[in-house]
Structure 1
Amino acid sequence: MNIYTKTNIQLGTKKTLAGMQVFFFLFGLFPLFQVSSVFAFDLSNTTVQENSAVGTFVGSFEGGPEYTLVSGTGDEDNGKFTIDGNKLRLNFSPDYENPTDLGDTAGNNTYSVRVRQTTVTGGLDFADIDKSTAWNGDENYRDTNEPINPRDVPANDNGDTEYGGQYNTSNRSNSSAFAVIKPDGSIAAWGNPNSGGSGAPTDSGYTKIYSNSSAFAALKADGSIAAWGNPDQGGTGAPTDSGYTKIYSNLDAFAALKADGSITAWGNPYEGGSGAPTDSGYTKIYSNRSAFAAMKPDGSITVWGNANWGGSGAPTDSGYTKIYSSAYAFAAMKPDGSITAWGSQIFDNTPISGAPTDTGYTKIYSNGFAFAALKADGSIAAWGSPDSGGSGAPTDSGYTKIYSNSSAFAALKADGSITAWGISFWGGNGEPTDSGYTKIYSNLDAFAALKADGSITAWGTSGWGGQGAPTDNGYTKIYSTSRAFAALKNDGTVHVWGKPDSGGDQAQVDALNLNASGGGTVTTTEDQVFIITVTDDPSDNTS
C-alpha cells in the first residue's frame, strides 16, 4: 500500500474476506509517520465572556497533536477547564462580578492553566489515509458497512467537525471493493468485480475517488467523471461533460455538483439517480440512505429520491443553514436553532415526528433511526424511533457532545460523565458510572470511552466490542470496524477486541509483531502556562 502516495481508499466490511480485512486492518492503517521537531505551542484565543456555559469552546492549541492539563506552577485553575483533543473548554460558568480564579492575580478574572504538549515520532498511526477502511476516525460509525471520511468534514466556528452521526457525511463507502489513486492519477481497484473491483478507468489524471455501496466515481481536474461498478447503482450513466467540482452519494446513487450550482444525478432512479433539480445555484448536497437534499445560498432546499424517505416533504421556506440526516429522514436547522424534519423514522414509512418546536439548538446528531439536538446550555431534545433513542434522552443539561452508533446515543459532560439511551443491548444502557472520560468512540453495536490516563471502558453488545476492552491504561486513541475496536498506544502497542472476523482477533495482531517496527518516541514540550481572561457581559447587571 505504501507504493501509492495518495490513498483514497474506499473500503467496507460487510462482504470483505476475513483475510483481506485483517491485512488492511493491520497494514493499511498502520503507516509509519515522522513528526518534525517540536516547537512551542499557542492557544488561538484566551478570552471568554462571563456566563458562558460549561463546555463552551475557548480556543484551540496549535503546534502539536496531543495536549493535557498537568500539575505544576500555573496550574491553579486547571480544574475549571477541560481539554477535548486540541480544544480548551470551560468546566464552569464564569461570573465576572464574582471571580473565582486562583492563579495569576487571584480574584481578578484571569484564570491560569498549565498545559503539556506531547508528540510521537515514528511508530504506528492510523491517520494518514484519506478514506480508511471501517474506521470511525474521530467520530461515530455511520452504518453497517459504511465508514466516514473525516478529512471531508469541515470545521465549524466552535472548532468541532460538523459530523454528527450516522449519515451526516457526503459519501457512502463501497461495501465490497477497494480503489486507490496512484501518483500519476491512474486508478487501481480490487475486490468484488460486480461492485467496482474491476472495470476501473485505464487512463490517468484523476484527483479523487467517490463511492456508494456498489460503485465508484472518479473526478479529474477538468471536472470530468468516470464511473464503474454495479450498473444499477451508478457504475454506468455518469455525465459525459466536464466542469463538476464534487460528487456526493447515497447508498445506490450519485449526484455531482458544478461550479454554477447545477446538479446531475445517476444510479438507481428510485433512490435519487433521477429527479435532480434542473435549475442551478445550489452550493451543497446532503444525503440519507435513499434520497438527496440540495441547498441554495438563501437556505432554500430541494429534495429528490425515495419520496417516503426524505425525497419529498422538505420545507418550502428558506433560511436554513445546515441539513442533517438519519437513514430515512432529514432535519434542517436555521440560525436561530429552530429545526424542521421530514421523511420516515424507520423503513416501514412511519413519518418522522417529534422534532422540537422551540429554538436555540446548536447542533443535531443522529443514529440510523433517531435524532438528538444539543442546545448551548447542554440540554438535549431527541425524536424519531423511540426504541433507538428518539425518546429517553437525559433531562438535565451540561452535555458538551453526543455520540452515536446504529441505534443508541451516548452524551458526554464536561466532567467526563456519560449518559446513554436507545436500544439497551447496543449501548443504550450499561455506560460507566464514573467520570473523567474525554472522548467516546463507537462501532455498529457498542461504545468505547477513553479517559485522560488512557484507560478504556466499553459497553454494548458483548461479542461485538461491548466487552473485552484492555484493563491497562496509556492508550491514546481508539478506532473501529463495524463490530470491533482497536486501541493504540504511543509505543506502538495495539489492543483489539470484538468480533474476531471483523478485526477483533488479538492473536492475529500479536502474530504481526507490530512493536518490532520500533514503536514511537514520545517527545514532550516544556509545559506552558496560559492565562484565560473572563470579560464582562454588558447585559448582565448582577453585582
Structure 2
Amino acid sequence: MIVRVTLLSGKEATLEVDPSWTINDLKQSAQMEMGLGLGKLMNDCGEVLPKTATISQAGVQDGETLTATVRPDALQLVASWQAFSVLRTDGSVVSWGNAAAGGDNRDVQDQLLDVKHVKATASAFAAIRGDGTVVAWGDPGAGGDCSSVFQQLREVTELQASTAAFAAIRSDGTVVTWGNPMSGGDSESVRDDLREVQSIQANFEAFAALRQDGSVVTWGNPNHGGDSRNVQDQLRDVQAIQATSCAFAAVLHSGSVVTWGTSHFGGHSGDVAKLLKRVKRIQANIAAFAAILDDGSVVCWGNSQFGGKSNSVQARLRDVKDIQSSEAAFAAILADGSLVTWGNPMCGGDSSSVFLSSRRVQEIQASGNDTMGAFAAVLEDGSVVTWGSPSCGGTVPSRIQPQLTDVAKIQATRAAFAALRADGHVVCWGDSACGGDSRALRGQLRNVKEIQATQDAFAAILVDGSVLSWGNDYNGGDSSYVDL
C-alpha cells in the first residue's frame, strides 16, 4: 500500500509500506526519505497515531496522507542503571526504560523546559534548567524527589550524583543535597563548611567536595569515606579527588596522596605511602586505586584481587600514559602504544591471549561486574581486540570481527559492547540480552554520532537528531512507546 507523509511546510514523502509495519516503522522510513527527524504522525482527523500500533490497526488506508510534526534533535543522552533520558535541542527531556529507575518522567514533563543538563543516580534523574532551578524524577529514595529542598535549588551550576543521592553546587559555591541520607543525601552536619565549593566527587554512598582554598568537606556513609576527620589536617592544597566504591583518594599539589574510607577498598594507602610522590593522576575501579607518577611508573593499593597489587607486571609498568579500569582490573597504555593489564583475570586482568605486536592502543572500554568482565581496545588502525570473560563480550564472534574496522569509539553495558565506526555504522557483540545483538533494528544503525549505555541496553543519537535503542526492553532497550 501507498502512504504519504507531509509536513506543514508542504514537504512530503510517498512511501510503499506493508500494513503489518508499525507506525514507528512508517515514521522511520519517512525520516530517511525526508532527511530530518519527525515527531508525531496524525491522520486527517488530527488524531495522533500510536507508535506501537500496526498501520492496519491504526486504520491507515491505502493512498492516505498523514501529517507529521518536526521533532527537535537529540542533544544529550544520559543513563541511569536501567533507564535513558534524552535532552533535546528545544530544552525538553524524554525518558524511557524502567519507570522506577527514572524511565517515566510524565509527572514532571510540564516542568522540563529550557533544560541545559541532565545527571543520573542509579535509579533517578535530575535536570538543571536555564534559570538555575532543578527538576528531579525517578526513585524518590535515590534522589527522584527534590521537593524537600526545592526552595534552596536556585542558581545551580553543577550536579553530581552518588548511587542514590544528588549534590547541587550553586553559583555562590554553596551545596544542596537530597536523596538517600546514607548515600550522601543529607549534608546538614557539614552545611556550614560547604561554601566556596568548586567541584564534587562521589562514590557509591558518600560525597567529597573540593573547595576553592584546596580543603575538602565530606559527608554520607562514614564507612564509605563520608567521614574524613582522621585525615582532615592532611587535606590541604588538594588539586583532585578520585573514588572507588567505598573510599576516596586526594592528590595534593605537592604530588602526594591522602586516602580515607574503607581500608580494603583503597581507603588505606599506608603500605605504599612512601612511593606516592609526584603523582600525576589516579585511576580507580570498585576496590583499588592505580596512580601514575611523573616518571611514568605506577603505584597501586587497595584490594589485591581487584588490581590493588601489580607485582606480577610492575617491571613492565614504565612510560605509562593512561590507565583504564573494568570493575575489578586495570589496563595501562604505555607510551609506545603497548598494553599491560592486571587484576581479576575474569574481568580482563589477563591480556596474555591478545597479540598486539606493534599496533598502538588508542582507547579502552570495559564491560562486566566485580566477578566477570572484559576489555575492548581500539587500535590505531581502527581495529579492535578483546579479552576477558567471553560471556561479557571478551570474545568477538567470527562473523562480527571483519566488521570491526575504522572504529572511532566503543561503549559497553555489563555484558556487551557497541563499536561506533567512523562511517557512522554501529557493530555490536556480547550478550544479546544486554544489547549485544542489534539486528532487530534492520540496518537503521548508520549515521550514528553518539552512543550511551545502561546496564542492559544501548541508545544511539543519529546525525539527523533521532534516537534508537536496543537491548533489554525493560531497562531502556525499547523506546518505541516514547516520542523520540
Give the TM-score, by structure 2 length.
0.67
Counterparts of 1:46-445 in structure 2, within 5 Å, are: 125-128=73-76, 133=80, 173-198=120-145, 199-203=148-152, 204-238=154-188, 239-241=190-192, 242-275=195-228, 277-279=231-233, 280-313=236-269, 314-316=272-274, 317-346=276-305, 354-357=312-315, 358-393=317-352, 394-396=354-356, 397-398=358-359, 399-406=361-368, 407-430=373-396, 432-434=400-402, 435-445=405-415
Is contact 1:353-1:384 (8 Å) kept?
Answer: no
Q: Deviations over 1:369-424 (max 9, x none)?
A: 00000112221000000111111252423222212122210111222221100111
Match of residue 114 from structure 2: none
Q: CA deviation at 1:304?
A: 0.3
Cα separation, partners in 2 of 1:480 and 1:294, compared to 1, 3 Å:
same
Q: CA deviation at 1:328?
A: 0.6
Cα separation, partners in 2 of 1:451 and 1:196, compared to 1, 3 Å:
closer
Q: CA deviation at 1:471?
A: 5.2
One-letter amino acid matched to 2:436: G
Match of residue 498 from structure 1: 471
Cα separation, partners in 2 of 1:443 and 1:218, compared to 1, 3 Å:
same
Is contact 2:80-2:125 (8 Å) kept?
Answer: no
Q: Distance in 2 between matches of 1:494 and 1:173?
A: 19
SS in structure 1 of the partner of residue 411 of structure 2:
strand
Q: Deviations over 1:455-493 (max 9, x none)?
A: 332111121111124453633233322211223433355
Q: CA deviation at 1:341?
A: 0.8
SS in structure 2 of the partner of residue 194 of structure 1:
helix
Q: Distance in 2 between matches of 1:384 and 1:332?
A: 15
Cα separation, partners in 2 of 1:185 and 1:496, compared to 1, 3 Å:
closer
**Alignment identity in percent?**
35
SS in structure 2 of the partner of residue 181 of structure 1:
strand
One-letter amino acid matched to 2:365: Y
Relative to structure 2, which stretch is displaced further, 255-264 or 494-503?
494-503
One-letter amino acid matched to 1:498: G
Q: CA deviation at 1:187?
A: 2.8
Q: CA deviation at 1:124?
A: 5.8
Q: Distance in 1 between matches of 2:245 and 2:408?
A: 31
Match of residue 41 from structure 2: none
Is contact 1:136-1:442 (8 Å) kept?
Answer: no
One-letter amino acid matched to 1:235: G
Q: Distance in 2 between matches of 1:271 and 1:481?
A: 24
Cα separation, partners in 2 of 1:499 and 1:308, compared to 1, 3 Å:
same
Q: 1 or 2, which has the higher helix percentage?
A: 2
Q: CA deviation at 1:193?
A: 2.5
Relative to structure 2, which stretch is displaced further, 249-258 or 234-243?
234-243
The answer on 1:489 being equivalent to 2:462 is yes
Is contact 1:380-1:395 (8 Å) kept?
Answer: no
Q: Distance in 2 between matches of 1:485 and 1:128?
A: 14
Q: Distance in 2 between matches of 1:513 and 1:210?
A: 28
Match of residue 419 from structure 2: 449
Aligned residues between the structures: 360
Is contact 2:247-2:260 (8 Å) kept?
Answer: yes
Q: Distance in 1 between matches of 2:308 and 2:220?
A: 26
Counterparts of 1:8-19 in structure 2, within 5 Å, are: none
* Relative contact order, higher structure (CA 8 A, sep 6+): 1
Relative to structure 2, which stretch is displaced further, 263-272 or 312-321?
312-321
One-letter amino acid matched to 2:362: T
Is contact 1:447-1:458 (8 Å) kept?
Answer: yes
Is contact 2:290-2:308 (8 Å) kept?
Answer: no
Is contact 1:304-1:311 (8 Å) kept?
Answer: yes
One-letter amino acid matched to 1:459: W
One-letter amino acid matched to 2:232: T
Is contact 2:80-2:123 (8 Å) kept?
Answer: no
Is contact 1:425-1:461 (8 Å) kept?
Answer: yes
Cα separation, partners in 2 of 1:184 and 1:491, compared to 1, 3 Å:
closer
Is contact 1:252-1:271 (8 Å) kept?
Answer: yes
Cα separation, partners in 2 of 1:125 and 1:419, compared to 1, 3 Å:
farther
Is contact 1:178-1:189 (8 Å) kept?
Answer: yes
Match of residue 466 from structure 1: 436
Cα separation, partners in 2 of 1:433 and 1:124, compared to 1, 3 Å:
farther
Q: CA deviation at 1:339?
A: 0.5
Counterparts of 1:530-541 in structure 2, within 5 Å, are: none
Q: Distance in 2 between matches of 1:270 and 1:299?
A: 26
Q: Distance in 2 between matches of 1:327 and 1:224?
A: 29
Cα separation, partners in 2 of 1:350 and 1:341, compared to 1, 3 Å:
closer
Is contact 1:354-1:384 (8 Å) kept?
Answer: no
- What residue ranges of structure 2 are gaps of 5+ in the alignment? 1-35, 38-69, 87-99, 102-118
Q: Distance in 1 between matches of 2:255 and 2:76?
A: 35
Cα separation, partners in 2 of 1:402 and 1:125, compared to 1, 3 Å:
farther
Q: CA deviation at 1:494?
A: 4.0
One-letter amino acid matched to 1:405: S
Is contact 2:174-2:197 (8 Å) kept?
Answer: yes
SS in structure 2 of the partner of residue 127 of structure 1:
strand
SS in structure 2 of the partner of residue 304 of structure 1:
strand
Q: Distance in 1 between matches of 2:421 and 2:220?
A: 44
Is contact 1:247-1:257 (8 Å) kept?
Answer: yes
One-letter amino acid matched to 1:476: V
Match of residue 116 from structure 1: none
Is contact 2:392-2:415 (8 Å) kept?
Answer: yes
Match of residue 93 from structure 1: none
Cα separation, partners in 2 of 1:219 and 1:495, compared to 1, 3 Å:
closer
